[in-house]
C-alpha cells in the first residue's frame, strides 16, 4: 500500500499527447470509452473463469492508445 506524500516519487509522463491524450479529462474519457467498448466487437475472444485461473502470459500491443486501446 502506498502511504504518505508520493508526488515527489511519481515520474512525469514522458510521452503524454504523443501516444495517449495529454489532458487529464481527455485521457480519462478515452480510457473509459475503451473499457466500455471492451469485448463488444465480433470475434473478440472471451475467456471463461476457469481459463483465467490458468492464464500465465498475455501478449499485448505496445502502441498509441488509438491503435491498441481496443
Q: How do the residues of the chain divide into helix, strand and coil, expressed in percent and rounded to 5?
A: 40, 5, 60
Strand partners, 16: 20
- pLDDT (tens digit, 9 = 90+) per residue, 13-61? 888 898 889 999 999 999 899 888 876 666 566 777 777 777 677 766 6
pTM: predicted TM-score of the whole model, two decimal places: 0.54
Radius of gyration of the chain (CA): 16
Copy the grid coordinates of residue 28.
480519462
Amino acid at each position: 500500500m502506498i502511504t504518505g506524500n508520493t508526488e515527489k516519487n511519481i515520474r512525469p509522463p514522458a510521452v503524454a499527447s504523443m501516444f495517449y491524450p495529454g489532458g487529464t479529462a481527455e485521457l480519462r474519457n478515452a480510457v473509459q470509452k475503451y473499457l466500455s467498448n471492451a469485448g463488444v466487437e465480433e470475434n473478440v475472444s472471451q475467456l471463461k473463469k476457469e481459463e483465467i485461473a490458468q492464464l500465465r502470459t498475455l501478449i499485448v500491443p505496445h502502441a498509441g492508445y488509438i491503435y491498441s486501446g481496443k
